[in-house]
Amino acid sequence: MSGAGVLILSADEVRSALDPHAAVDAIDRVLREETAGRTRVPGRVTFDVDHGWFRVMPGALLEDAGRAVMGVKVMALARGAGLSYLLLLYAERTGELMAMMDASVLTQVRTGAVSAAFLRRVCPDGIPQLGVIGSGFEARGQLETIARTIQVGRAIAFSPNRERRSTFAAEMTKGLGIPVDASDDAGAVAAAPVVVLATRATAPVVDGAHFSAGAVIVSIGSTRPELREVDTQTIARAGRVIVDHHAQAIVESGDIQAGLAAGVIKEDDIVELSAVLRAGNGPRSDPPRLLLFKPSGTAAQDLAVARMVYERCLAAGTGHRLNGFLTRKPR
The pLDDT score that the predictor gives to residue 2 is 59
The mean pLDDT value for 253-272 works out to 96
Whether residue 284 has pLDDT greater than 80: no
73 strand-pairing partners: 57, 87
Which of 223, 161, 233 lies closest to 190, judged by CA? 233
- Using omega within 30 degrees of 0 as the cis cutoff, is the peptide bond preceding 193 cis? no
Q: How far apart are CA 95 and CA 190, in angstroms?
A: 47
CA 171 to chain centre: 22
Among 247, 294, 288, 300, which Cα is nearest to 31's? Answer: 300
Under 8 Å between Cβ of 205 and 188: no
Q: Judging by DSSP bridges, how do beta strands 97-102 and 6-9 pair with one another?
A: parallel
Q: What mean pLDDT do residues 119-142 have? A: 95
Beta strands in 165-323 (DSSP E): 180-182, 194-197, 216-219, 241-243, 270-272, 291-293, 320-322
Share of the chain above pLDDT 90, in %: 86
- HSE (side-chain half, CA atoms, 13 Å) at 18: 30
pLDDT of residue 278: 80
Among the ranges given (38-52, 222-236, 317-331), the one the predictor scored with the smallest mean pLDDT: 317-331
For residue 328, the model assigns a pLDDT of: 83
Query: Which residues pair with residue 180 across a beta bridge?
Result: 155
Complete domains list, the chain, with CATH:
6-107+299-322 (3.30.1780.10), 112-293 (3.40.50.720)
Residue 214: phi and psi, rounded to 5, are 75, 10
279 pLDDT band, cuts 50/70/90, is confident
Q: Which residues pair with 47 in a beta bridge?
A: 54
pLDDT computed for residue 71 by the predictor: 98
Computed over every residue of the chain, the mean pLDDT equals: 93
pLDDT at 281 over 70: no
What is the average per-residue pLDDT within 231-259? 95
pLDDT, tens digit (0-9, with 9 covering 90-100), for 44-86: 999 999 999 999 999 999 977 678 999 999 999 999 999 999 9
**Pairing between strand 52-61 and 39-40?**
antiparallel
- Start-end of H helices in 18-80: 20-35
Q: Report which of residues 222 and 257 the model is more confident about.
A: 257
Does residue 255 contact residue 218 with C-beta atoms inside 8 Å? no
